[in-house]
Structure 1
Amino acid sequence: MRNSPRYRDGVFHNPPAPARPAASGGGGAAILRELLLGKQLRHPSRPIPVVRGVVGDSEADPELAVTWFGHSTALLEIEGQRLLLDPVWSERCSPSQSAGPRRMHQPPLDIEELPRIDAVVISHDHYDHLDMHSVRAIARTQPHTRFLVPLGVGAHLERWGIDLARVDELDWEEEAQIGALRVVCTSAHHFSGRGFANNGTLWSSWAVVGAEHRVFYSGDSGYFDGFAATGEAHGPFDLTLVQIGAYSDHWWDIHMTPEEGVSTHLDVRGGLMVPVHWCTFVLGLHDWSEPVERLCADADARGVQVAVPRPGERIEVARPPKLDHWWRAVV
């Protein structure tokens, strides 16, 4: 960590972001007022449709597929390997399962029903991306799974009883080998922390580079020019998984708007875009379905191909389904 260009004075630092005017309306007081009195529809009026079932336990499809389980949890099948991104199965993304943001839908399958997982990939240590209960369960039920994490996050796993021989802890532009895949830790503009201490561990996006296919996962991030650099260094990408939810003018530098998500997809030179970080937990002030509506409108205007799976739905990237706007029947 001390050798990282991003680490100084005991914490990690973001690269510069474009200047942007501060939100008007009173800062924290305005956020609290909006949270308590805002008229947004933050929860759906009907159950979110979940595609339930077991992901096949045969050898991974040599082509490219993704199964989105909700929020930012997704299973990649790429060239014979399976990578699980930011697994969160807990009922709440919180230090306590008695309080904090609660799921709007159940996981499409149990952790014990997962097929062989070659690697778990973690973007940062916030509770909605690094879930102790899920990580421990996967480590127990998948004894050969490796864990790829940004700098400092390995300490969490070590405290949770996971052998550090299974953990690859990486700085930006460092990589691990999973089978024939190169999995590269790439830049993001965010922050980290569990509890009261912030930025003691690194945050990241990820590039998965195979012989034939490439995937980009944004993690959580504000929009910045690091994505264009990632596209130049590691793209183009057949598939992007990009954060679109929990944005606000109050924290524009750490979470992208849907339109900025489309810009990120274009910056990294993506093919098919699948949105993540929406639909599962209420972490923002907007309507629950606003992110995907804004995404679809902007992607259509800019000629970007989008697939929006239901939680648990598997998408073959070479044969994506037609956009059916399923969430409109839930609102």
Structure 2
Amino acid sequence: MKSAITVLLIIAATLILGGCVVLNLARFGAAPDAQQQKAYSGSANYNAGKQAFHNQVTTPVLKEGVSTWSVMWGNLTSSADNLAPQGAIPVNKVDFKSLPREENLIVRLGHSGFYLQLNGQRILVDPVFSDYASPFSFMVKAFKGTTIFTVDDLPEIDVLLISHDHYDHLDYNTAVALKNKVKKVFVPLGIGAHFSHWDYTPEQLHEADWYDSLELDNDVQIHLVPARHYSGRSLTRNQTLWGGFVITSPQSRLLLGGDSGYGPHFKAIGERFGGFDLVALDTGQYDPRWPYIHITASESKQAAIDVNARALLPIHIGRFALARHPWKEPFEEIQALSENAPYQLHTPLIGQPINLASPPASKPWWQSID
């Protein structure tokens, strides 16, 4: 009996030690230290007692009555199909370095990532150049054909924007490779700790609360705006803030909304900035088990109307399957819903430049893929 207990204790200790070793890998990043947490206590979006950020409205990660274990079991036993395409996604292998710097354009990198040129400023948003969106390479694999770019393909970047620290938005391999190519990093409160852990300099890092701004050259401004979501790269949630970005110049006003459930913040953002030429909104990875942290196609349409968008580009779709809906479903639904909407729908290929002054009509490229 004693020997059996000893064996069990050894196994338990080994598992605990192994877990600690894994969670200390660089890819998990680092939590804000005590001094940083004290500084965050001045934010209206931070609960100092819980040492955690919070949304503007009550936002459970999961629906009432749903647990993490039930989600895991449901995913394991689910009969859902068509979660990923059988064939390769069509892409456009753009040469970023040959794009005229004076041209105002946006290039979709897949999922929620973008390369943007505005008034001569080069901006990179939520890039994931790895072929997976998780701490481990065998999990959450990218759709076939969508991992076509590397950091080496990019010119020097004026500012890197990260909406929140989930793996499908903040990729360790990409962040490390970008370190010597990025002048500035503009992120929500707390995310600077990850970049400091990955040897970025204090001069590069600029943390922001909701509605804080960063001034760039040539009258380009970047504003961090609210989103309805959560954060965390390991076992602890909400030690870092999350959000979207409003990017403005004298010619253009853009909203890149990040991950978000539907809420009153969309209307508030629209009223604050007076509408947008183009908005990119979370339109996929929704699930009835987590209805508060992502939005469906119909909610995406309403959010685009709320912010007074002239054009909508749906994001969080077309590269990774994080929910149990068919991969085409968000594209098909938002296309149907947008036929008589007060905005123009854009669904460009990964790597297809969109000129902000004269965006081309989009084609439903997903229809020809199984």
**TM-score w.r.t. length of structure 1:** 0.93
Aligned to 2:184: 146
Distance 1:301 1:163 in 2: 49
1:29 maps onto 2:70 in alignment: yes
1:245 to 284, 289, 312: 284
- Does the 8 Å CA contact 1:209/1:234 hold for their aligned counterparts? no
Aligned to 1:159: 197
Aligned to 2:11: none
Post-superposition Cα deviations, 1:8-33, rounded to whole Å, max 9, x if no partner, equal: 120001111599x9578888536633
Distance 1:235 1:313 in 2: 28
2:134 to 69, 79, 94: 94
Deviation at 1:218, TM superposition (A): 0.7
More strand by share: 1
Matched-pair identity in %: 31
- Does the 8 Å CA contact 2:125/2:160 hold for their aligned counterparts? yes
> Gaps (5+ residues) in structure 1?
none
How many aligned positions are there?
Answer: 326
Written as runs of structure 1 = structure 2, the 5 A alignment for 1:269-284 is 269-284=308-323
Distance 1:137 1:25 in 2: 38
Letter in 2 for 1:199: N
Task: Specify whether residues 250 and 175 from structure 1 end up closer, same or farther in structure 2 by C-alpha distance, changes over 3 A only.
Answer: same
Distance 1:174 1:196 in 2: 28
Written as runs of structure 1 = structure 2, the 5 A alignment for 1:256-295 is 256-295=295-334
Distance 2:222 2:342 in 1: 28
Task: Specify whether residues 136 and 329 from structure 1 end up closer, same or farther in structure 2 by C-alpha distance, changes over 3 A only.
Answer: same
Deviation at 1:314, TM superposition (A): 0.9
Aligned to 1:60: 101
Aligned to 2:79: 38
- Does the 8 Å CA contact 2:348/2:363 hold for their aligned counterparts? no
Task: Specify whether residues 54 and 46 from structure 1 end up closer, same or farther in structure 2 by C-alpha distance, changes over 3 A only.
Answer: same
Task: Specify whether residues 30 and 12 from structure 1 end up closer, same or farther in structure 2 by C-alpha distance, changes over 3 A only.
Answer: closer
Deviation at 1:75, TM superposition (A): 0.8
Give the stretch that moved more between structures: 227-236 or 24-33.
Answer: 24-33
Task: Specify whether residues 154 and 46 from structure 1 end up closer, same or farther in structure 2 by C-alpha distance, changes over 3 A only.
Answer: same
CA RMSD, aligned part only?
Answer: 2.1
Letter in 2 for 1:287: P
Give the stretch that moved more between structures: 180-189 or 294-303.
Answer: 294-303
- Does the 8 Å CA contact 1:258/1:291 hold for their aligned counterparts? yes
Aligned to 1:118: 158
**TM-score w.r.t. length of structure 2:** 0.83
> Gaps (5+ residues) in structure 2?
1-39
Post-superposition Cα deviations, 1:262-302, rounded to whole Å, max 9, x if no partner, equal: 11111111111111111111101100110111111111132
Written as runs of structure 1 = structure 2, the 5 A alignment for 1:121-132 is 121-132=161-172
1:192 to 231, 234, 239: 231
- Does the 8 Å CA contact 2:328/2:366 hold for their aligned counterparts? yes
